């Protein structure tokens, strides 16, 4: 039988056995609703609170700056749509993003353009797949309210200079009135496993990530929102998540997400990541050597350790993946 190796971890990861063990009790014995005031409900609430604290510590922020969602798509949409809607006064507002964002960022931007709420600058990336900090700086205008740059691209794995962009925005904000602040959002879905995640060092107001890219299950996401940011909910209801996202909490998913985050911080993960990088480099070397007309997309330097992405002259990418 042919041996298959799954190489599509940017699309999704399996659930880590430790993550599964941690979440299972919350699907069966400890199934209570965290909003119930009886003891099983209180235990579920404690699990949510503890998980939130784990994630807040991971990102170096306060617990009430972490909002759980059903996905990273939902988190990105909440931030982009609601920031613009809430800041909208008379004229159009301005958003700066990149041409290599995930659709969960591009589509809400396009929707806001269609509604005439915002004009959007889609910054290019260069040969290395990276946005230039100077391009971001040049693009900022008086009506710019949001810069949204992906932390690391989901296809070519290029890592963007988030903390440098954060610094530029911070300097610009020092010269502006608080009401004219430029907010900075990063979709860190692909980056959170491997890159800097201290939101203060990154200089971001919003950071989004998703469970199923970090060995937790699908259907759980979260975002960091800096205190005081003008976001209102996309989903109204019982006022969960500090009033920012209604819906009974996915307790098992939340516990899973926090357990996955603990695993990222485990010192053994560093060793694992070095091994992943070595395997990636070996794969890149062999493909470039053995497959004629193959080319690595993006740079080797500014690249996620788990990403290798190629073009092969004359071969259609999708056909190769299906085969």
Ligand X SMILES: Cc1ncc(COP(=O)(O)O)c(C=O)c1O
Contact assessment for residue 135 and residue 168, using Cβ atoms and an 8 Å cutoff: no
Tokens encoding 135? 């391009």
Rank residues 119 and 155 by Cβ distance to ligand X and give the closer one.
155
Q: How far is it, in rounded angstroms, from Cα 256 to Cα 15?
A: 9
Rank residues 19 and 32 by Cβ distance to ligand X and give the closer one.
19
Q: How far is it, in rounded angstroms, from Cα 102 to Cα 167?
A: 23
Q: How far is it, in rounded angstroms, from Cα 148 to Cα 244?
A: 20
Q: For 116-250, where are the alpha helices, taking DSSP H only?
A: 133-139, 162-174, 199-202
Residue 255 engages ligand X in binding (rule: CB under 6 A) = no
Rank residues 75 and 118 by Cβ distance to ligand X and give the closer one.
75
Residue 15 engages ligand X in binding (rule: CB under 6 A) = no
In the complex, least distance from residue 43 CB atom to ligand X, rounded to whole angstroms: 27
Whole-Å CA distances, 232 to 84, 101, 122: 11, 23, 25
Q: Which of positions 131-160 make contact with ligand X (CB under 6 A)?
A: 150, 154
The site map against ligand X for 53-72 (x = CB under 6 A) is ------------------xx
Residue 104 engages ligand X in binding (rule: CB under 6 A) = yes
Angle of the 251-265 helix axis to the 267-290 helix axis, nearest 10 = 80
CA Rg value for the chain: 21
In the complex, least distance from residue 266 CB atom to ligand X, rounded to whole angstroms: 23
- Count of positions on this chain that bind ligand X (CB under 6 A): 12
Beta-bridge mates of residue 221: 69, 210
For the chain, what's the residue count? 323
- Segment interacting with ligand X (CB under 6 A) among 1-9, 183-191, 230-238, 314-322: 183-191
Rank residues 80 and 189 by Cβ distance to ligand X and give the closer one.
189
3-state secondary structure 244-267: CCCCCCCHHHHHHHHHHHHHHHCH
Q: Which one among 187, 205, 241, 263 touches ligand X, defined by CB under 6 A? A: 187
Residue 309 engages ligand X in binding (rule: CB under 6 A) = no
- The burial of 85, by beta-carbon neighbours within 10 Å (0-12 exposed, 13-18 middle, 19 or more buried), is given as middle
In the complex, least distance from residue 301 CB atom to ligand X, rounded to whole angstroms: 20
Residue 210 engages ligand X in binding (rule: CB under 6 A) = yes
The site map against ligand X for 69-98 (x = CB under 6 A) is --xxx-------------------------
Residues at the site binding ligand X, with contacts judged by CB under 6 A: 71-73, 102, 104, 150, 154, 187, 189-190, 210, 221
């Amino acid at each position: 039988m042919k041996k298959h190796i799954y190489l599509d971890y940017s699309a999704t990861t399996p659930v880590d056995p430790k993550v599964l063990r941690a979440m299972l009790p919350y699907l069966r014995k400890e199934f209570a609703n965290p909003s119930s005031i009886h003891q099983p409900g209180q235990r579920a609430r404690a699990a949510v609170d503890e998980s939130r604290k784990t994630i807040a510590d991971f990102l170096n922020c306060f617990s009430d700056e972490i909002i759980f969602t059903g996905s990273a798509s939902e988190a990105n949409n909440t931030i982009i749509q609601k920031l613009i809607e809430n800041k909208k006064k008379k004229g159009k507002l301005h958003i700066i993003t990149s041409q290599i964002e995930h659709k969960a960022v591009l589509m809400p931007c396009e929707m806001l353009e269609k509604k005439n709420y915002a004009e959007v600058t889609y910054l290019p990336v260069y040969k290395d797949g990276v946005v230039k900090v100077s391009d971001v700086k040049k693009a900022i205008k008086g009506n710019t309210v949001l810069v949204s740059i992906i932390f690391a691209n989901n296809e070519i794995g290029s890592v963007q200079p988030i903390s440098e962009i954060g610094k530029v925005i911070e300097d610009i904000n020092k010269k502006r009135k608080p009401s004219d602040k430029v907010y900075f959002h990063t979709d860190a879905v692909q980056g959170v496993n491997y890159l800097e995640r201290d939101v203060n060092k990154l200089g971001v107001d919003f950071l989004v990530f998703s469970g199923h890219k970090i060995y937790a299950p699908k259907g759980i996401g979260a975002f960091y929102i800096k205190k005081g940011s003008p976001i209102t909910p996309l989903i109204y209801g019982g006022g969960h998540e500090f009033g920012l996202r209604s819906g009974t909490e996915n307790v098992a998913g939340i516990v899973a997400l926090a357990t996955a985050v603990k695993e990222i911080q485990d010192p053994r993960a560093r060793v694992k990541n070095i091994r992943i990088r070595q395997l990636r480099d070996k794969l890149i070397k062999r493909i470039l050597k053995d497959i004629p007309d193959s080319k690595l997309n993006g740079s080797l330097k500014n690249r996620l350790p788990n990403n290798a992405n190629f073009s092969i002259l004359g071969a259609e990418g999708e056909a190769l993946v299906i085969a």
